[in-house]
Amino acid sequence: MSSERTRILTAAANRPMVKVIFLLGIIVSGFWVISFFPDLVLLLIISLLSAFILRPLVSLCEYRFGLRRILSVSIVFMLIGGSLVLLGILFIPMAIERLNALYDGFKNFPFDQKLNEAAISLTANIPFTNPESVAQKVHELVNSGLQWLSGFLTGAAGFLVNLAIVPFITFFILAEGDTALKKLIERVPNKYFEMVLNVLDKIRKELVGYLRGWILDSVIVGIMNIAGYYIIGVNYAILLGIIAGISNLIPYVGPFFGVVPALLISLSQYGDFRQAFLILTVPLLLVQVLDNIIIQPLCFSKTVDMHPITVIVVLIIGNSMMGIAGMLLAIPIATILKSSAVESYWGLKNYRITA
């Protein structure tokens, strides 16, 4: 009887939809636990991801040049810190100048007049529409968008302040992480030892692969957007391309966030909603088609194996818990939870471990 029950459960577990539901349950449960202390978890996840990115450089200094671990980490941090300071000296004054010019352009742009003109044009081409009602709806939409942007910038400022602690946590993880992990693994009972090693190795491989693909994809998308905006003559092409590349870090919905600044700038530049929209639609669609068909398969091949339904649900949960930062980190967090669940299940099943 028990063997028949085991056979039925195993057959059910091998069905794709059952796997999706199972993984969603694990991921939702993990996010529910995280919801009790989201700020702390957010900083820890960012620090872990930063450590993953910097680890190859630290290992290069340690094993190639024979330096001590703490010295290797210090050298890497000094090189990165010096590079950031140099970039700040070179580009921050130019960025401030561009932002001031952009602010002056928005301040002097007759948004109300253009919105009314767009509403009148819309009602003239679409029958049975009330110009006043359409204008009111357009105003409400724009105001809600500006309120969201203001809230986002306020939250981003607070988030950047909290990020000040990330370098210290990252330094500790790089300097002492391997030692702490070895001591932790030594305390694992023998019957769980191999399973725990497999879980940690799977998490490391999937995170490293995802991070490399994630960053490479965003860099390529940013460069393509810069080229597209430059070709069609939109002002601040480099700034807009950088914003598009960063926003592309958020799967599926990120590109729509990235196009909003470009739409506003092109609107102030050309003064026509329809022209601005048409000008931006071409590069947006072209870049997204190339990204989804060619770039992403190349960047993410053999990395994170996650169903699209799972990805969408994870993004919604991340946004509801931690806003934009939660959406950025939702996939890495879900990857950790998924790998832990799948590898633990596989280990318990194949190693025949009992409590």
Give per-residue pLDDT as tens, 121-148. 656 665 555 656 656 666 676 666 666 6
| Number of domains the chain is built from | 1
Going from the C-alpha of 186 to that of each of 154, 183, 328, 344, the distances in angstroms are 45, 5, 33, 18
319 domain residue, yes or no: yes
Task: Say if pTM beats, i.e. exceeds, 0.85.
Answer: no
Contact of 331 with 251, CB cutoff 8 Å:
yes
pLDDT tens-digit readout, 16-62: 555 556 666 666 676 676 667 767 777 887 888 788 888 888 988 88
131 domain residue, yes or no: yes
- Calculate the dihedral angle through the C-alpha atoms of 227, 280, 282, 292, rounding to the nearest 10 degrees: 70
72 domain residue, yes or no: no
77 domain residue, yes or no: no
236 domain residue, yes or no: yes
Encoded tokens for 66: 């024979």
- The pLDDT score that the predictor gives to residue 145 is 61
- The pLDDT score that the predictor gives to residue 157 is 66
Per the model's pLDDT, the better-predicted residue between 165 and 282 turns out to be 165
| Residue 169 belongs to domain spanning | 22-53+94-350
Chain mean pLDDT for the chain: 74
- pLDDT of 189 over the 70 cut: yes
- The pLDDT score that the predictor gives to residue 13 is 47
88 domain residue, yes or no: no
Going from the C-alpha of 190 to that of each of 70, 195, 196, 347, 353, the distances in angstroms are 31, 10, 10, 13, 11
Q: How confident is the model at residue 5 (pLDDT cuts 50, 70, 90)?
A: very low
d(CA 232, CA 350): 58
Question: What average pLDDT does range 7-11 have in this prediction?
Answer: 47
65 domain residue, yes or no: no
13 domain residue, yes or no: no
* Listed residue (217, 249, 224) closest to 238, CA to CA: 224
